[in-house]
Structure 1
Amino acid sequence: MEETRYDLIILGASGFTGKYVVKEALRFLSHPPLRTLALAGRNANKLTQTLQWASHPNPPPSIPILTFDTSDPQSLLSLCAQTRLVLNCVGPFRLYGEPVVAACVETGCDYLDICGEPEFMERMEAKYGEKAAETGSLIVSACGFDSVPAELGLMFNSRQWVDPAVPNRVEAYVSLESERRIVGNFGTFESAVLGVANADSLQALRRSRPRRARPVIPGPAPPKGGPLIEHQKKIGLRAVKLPSADSIVVRRTLTALTENPHGLPGVNEGVEQIEKRKAFWSTVKPAHFGVKIGAKSMLGVYRFITVGMCIGLLGKTGFGRWLLLTFPSFFSIGWFRKKGPSEDEVRSASFKMWFVGQGFSNSSLISEGNMKPDMEIITRVMGPEIGYLATPIILLQCALIVLSQRDNLPKGGVLPPGIVFGPTDLQERLQENGISFDVISKGALSS
C-alpha cells in the first residue's frame, strides 16, 4: 500500500454534480481537517477544466489530478490507498459504484457517496458489510439530498415528542420551488429508470437475507390505501406518494437503532462521548415513515403522476428504457435533460421538506384503548436547490465530520447516514451552511 497522501479524494469530479462538490470542497481546503485534496476521474483535461470552473474568479489552487479506471481494480486500489476518505460522485452507482466500494473496503479507507439507489445500497451492505467492519472501512451511501434531510428531519421531528408524548407516524412532503423552470440532473433520471428495471433484483436480494428486528412503534400501523392525491391544507400542498430512497434508508437506520438502542459505539470514543451518544438516541422515538412529493396546484401534481407513470411503465422493457434515456426531456415533461440545468436555474431553485408527525400526547392512551392519534407536530427542513447546491453542502459536511471526528464514529461497516451522523453535530453544521430545521406547529388533533 502507498502511504496516505490525501485527506480526501473526489471521484467523478468532472460530472454534473461532481463539479459542484469540488466548488464546495474548495471553501474548506487548507483549513483543518481538510488540508490535502485530490480530484480523480477518467479524463485529466476535464478535471483541470472543472478545477478552473470551481475556483473562478480566483486562480485554481495546486491540486493533484489523478486518473483512474473503474474497470481496473489495481488502479482503484492504488487510488484508495492514498487517501483517508473517498467521495464518490460517479453514478449511476448500480453501474459504476461497486468497484470503488470494493477498493475502499480492501484498503480500509472510508467512503461516502450521493447515491439514491436502494438496490445498490442494500447489495453493498449484504456483500461488503462484514469485511468493512473488519478492515475499519466506513461505507456510507445517501450522503446528499438522498437521504440526509429525510434522516435528520425525521429525528428532528421525533425529538420534539417529549415524554410522555410519542409519535406514531411521520409523513414527509417534498416541495421543489423555483423562480425559473426546475431542471433535474440526467443521472438522477437514469437512476430512477434503472431502479424500475431492477426492482425484481431488489426484492430477490431482500428475500435472500435474514429478517432483522423491526422497531416497536406505539399505536396502530397507518391504514393502507387512501386517496391517490392528498390535500395537506396546513402546509398548502397537494401530494402523491414518492417512491424515493428516503423511506428505505430511514427504515435501515431505525432497524439499526432497534438492534443497538444506544447507537453504534465509536472506534475510540471517550466516556463523555459515550454518554452524549446514549443521551441523543434516548430522545429519538421510532415512527412509521413515508415520503410524498407535493405541489401547490393540481396541475403540478398531475405532472408528477404523468412522469411517474412513464418511468414505471416504460422502464420495465429494454425498448422502453431506450426511449426514456434517449428522450428524457420529452418523457419527463421538461424536468430532466441531458445537459442539466444552467447556473441561473440552479441558483433560483430551493426545497422545503415538511414533516407532519401524528401521535399520542400520552403513551398511556394507547394502553387504555385510544388508538387514534390526538396530537400533531409539524417541522420543516428547508434549503437551496437539491442536486447541485444542497447535495454538495451535505456531502462536504459529512466528510468534514468523518475527517475531524473519526474516533467517535463506528469502526467500519456499510451503514445508512442516520445511524452514523445522527448523534454528531451534522444538523448544526447544515444550519450554518444554509439548510434550516424549524418547528412549525404543535397542537391537538381534532377528534
Structure 2
Amino acid sequence: MTELQLPTYDIIIFGASGFTGKYVVREALKFLNSPNSPLKTLALAGRNSNKLTESLKWASGSKTHPTIPLIIADTSDPSSLRRMASQTKLVLNCVGPYRKYGDPVVNACVEVGCDYLDICGEPEFMERMEAVYFEKAVEKGSLVVSACGFDSVPAEFGLMFNSRQWVEPAVPNRVEAYLNLESDKRIVGNFGTFESAVLGVANVHKLAELRRSRPKRSRPNIPGPGPVKGSTIEHQEELGLWAMKLPSADAIVVRRTFSTLTENPRGLQGVNEDPKQAEKRAAFWSTIKPAHFGVKIATKSLLSVFGFIAIGLSIGLLGSFAFGRWLLLKFPSIFTFGGFRKKGPTEEEVASATFKMWFVGYGFSDAKLASQEGAKPDTEIITRVMGPEIGYLTTPIILIQCALIVLKQRQDLPKGGVLTPGIVFGPFDLQDRLQENGISFDLISEK
C-alpha cells in the first residue's frame, strides 16, 4: 500500500451476496463499531450492486440496513480487483470454487500489499498460491491465509488443543479426528463445497505434478511408530461411532503448519512484534508436539457410512471425465441423496445443524518409551471441538475472528507470505475468541 493511498476500509467482504458471503456479512455486522472491536469500516464487494443490497438487508435483519459502501468487482476484471484491494487493509474472499476464481483475487491483494483471508478447502489451490506468490507476498507485506473457515481451523486448533494436553514427559504419536454432523432436520451442504470436491477429483493429477515440481518440505520428528493403514470402515467403540476416512484438506493443512514449525521452531516473527508477544509465541510453540494426523467422517449408523461411500464413489468415478462432472454438477441432489443441492439449505436447516469433532490421541506416557523397539502407545487423550452448522455458521464465525486478530494485532503477525491459519494464528487468542462465539474446546478423557 503506498503512503499516498491509505486504505479507506478495514475490511472488504468480496462475494458478499453469495450463499456463504451473506452469512459472513451477518457475522461481521455484529462487530462493526462494537465496543473494543478493531472493525470500524466495512465495505461489500461483488458483481451486482442489487444483490449486494439484498444481502445487506438480509444480514442486518431489518428493512433499515446500515449504510455500508458497495463496490463492484469481478474476478474476470483484474483492474476492478486491484481497485478493490487498494481500498482496504484486508480482503475476505468468499468467492469459490477457488480453483476457478481465487487466483486473480490473491494476485490483486499481493500486488497492492493488502492482506487476504479466505475459506478455501482446496489443497491444489492453496499449495499453488504458496508456490506462485509466497516470495512476492513477503516482499509486498501481504499476508495471504487460506482455510480460515471450517476447513481447516477446527482441525488445526483442535489438534493443537489435544497436543497441549500431553504434559512432559508424555508425547503423542498419532491423533485421529472423527467428524460427526448432527441435525434434527436434513443436513444439506454448500453447493460450492460439492463443486470444489468434483473439480478436485478432476484435477488430482495437477496437485501431484505441483508437489513433484517443488522442493521437499521439512518433516517433524514424531516419536514412535509410523501410521498404520486401517480398514476402510472403522467402529470407534469409545465414541459409539462408525467412521471412514474423509478426503478433506484438514490433514494437508496441518502437515503444512508442522513443516513451517519444523523450519521455525519458535514460530514466525511478527513484522514489528512486541517483545512480550515474541516470548508468548515461543512459549506457545514449545507446548505443541507434532503427531501423525488423519480425519474421518463419523456417524452413529453403519448404514450412513455406506451412504458416504456411495457418494464418494460417485464423485470419484464421474468426476474423472467431463460428462460425468456435468451430471454431478447438474443433479447434485440425486448423486448425494439430497446431501447437496443447488439452492443450499434453508435457514431452518442451517439453524438446526451442529458438529462435533473428536480428537483421539494415542501416545506414550514417557518419550523414552517411544524409542524402544516394538513400542506401542500406552496413553490415550480424547478432546473435542463442537459448534453450530459448519458451512454457514461456524465458517463465518472463524473467518471474522481471524480477521479481527489481523486488524488488532497486525504488527505481531508475519510481514507477509502465503501461510496456514495454524502457524499464523496459533500463538494468539483465536481459540478463546471461538469459545466466546459458540465453538467449544473440551478435554473429554485421559488414560
Structure 2 length-normalised TM: 0.98
Other-structure match for 1:207:
212
Counterparts of 1:370 and 1:304, CA distance in 2: 35
What RMSD over aligned residues (CA atoms) do the two structures have, in Å? 0.8
Residue number among 224, 229, 235 corresponding to 1:231 in the alignment: 235
Other-structure match for 1:3:
6
Counterparts of 1:241 and 1:271, CA distance in 2: 42
Counterparts of 1:228 and 1:131, CA distance in 2: 42
Other-structure match for 2:358:
354
1:131 aligns to what SS in structure 2?
helix
Other-structure match for 1:71:
76
User: Is residue 16 of structure 1 aligned with residue 19 of structure 2?
Assistant: yes
Note the C-alpha offset of 1:3: 3.3
Note the C-alpha offset of 1:223: 1.2
Other-structure match for 1:123:
128
Other-structure match for 1:400:
404
Q: Counterparts of 1:405-416 in structure 2 under 5 Å? A: 405-416=409-420
Counterparts of 2:231 and 2:286, CA distance in 1: 35
Counterparts of 1:265 and 1:227, CA distance in 2: 42
Q: Counterparts of 1:294-309 in structure 2 under 5 Å? A: 294-309=298-313
Counterparts of 1:357 and 1:59, CA distance in 2: 50
Counterparts of 1:52 and 1:366, CA distance in 2: 58
Other-structure match for 2:90:
85
User: Is residue 137 of structure 1 aligned with residue 137 of structure 2?
Assistant: no
Counterpart amino acid of residue 288 in structure 2: V
Q: Counterparts of 1:28-427 in structure 2 under 5 Å? A: 28-31=31-34, 32-57=37-62, 59-224=64-229, 226-369=230-373, 371-427=375-431
User: Is residue 433 of structure 1 aligned with residue 444 of structure 2?
Assistant: no
Note the C-alpha offset of 1:370: 5.0
Counterparts of 1:245 and 1:228, CA distance in 2: 19
Instruction: Give the count of matched residue pairs.
Output: 442
2:212 aligns to what SS in structure 1?
helix
Stretches of structure 2 that go unaligned for 5 or more consecutive residues are: none
Paired residues of 2:174 and 2:291 also in contact (CA < 8 A)? yes
Counterpart amino acid of residue 294 in structure 1: A
Paired residues of 2:98 and 2:120 also in contact (CA < 8 A)? yes
Counterparts of 2:299 and 2:391, CA distance in 1: 18
More divergent stretch after superposition (197-206 vs 228-237): 228-237
Q: 1:361 to 1:104 in 2, by over 3 A?
A: same
Counterpart amino acid of residue 416 in structure 2: G
Paired residues of 2:223 and 2:371 also in contact (CA < 8 A)? no
What is the CA deviation profile of residues 107-134 of structure 1, one whole-angstrom value per residue up to 9, with x for unaligned ones? 0000000000000000000000000011
Other-structure match for 1:27:
30
What is the CA deviation profile of residues 66-121 of structure 1, one whole-angstrom value per residue up to 9, with x for unaligned ones? 10121221111111000000000000000000000000000000000000000000
Note the C-alpha offset of 1:256: 0.4
Note the C-alpha offset of 1:58: 6.2
Counterparts of 1:368 and 1:65, CA distance in 2: 63
2:326 aligns to what SS in structure 1?
helix
Counterparts of 1:343 and 1:212, CA distance in 2: 43
What is the CA deviation profile of residues 190-221 of structure 1, one whole-angstrom value per residue up to 9, with x for unaligned ones? 00000000100000000000111100000010
Structure 1 length-normalised TM: 0.98
Counterparts of 1:177 and 1:232, CA distance in 2: 17
Q: Could you tell me the percent identity over the aligned residues? A: 72
More divergent stretch after superposition (49-58 vs 124-133): 49-58
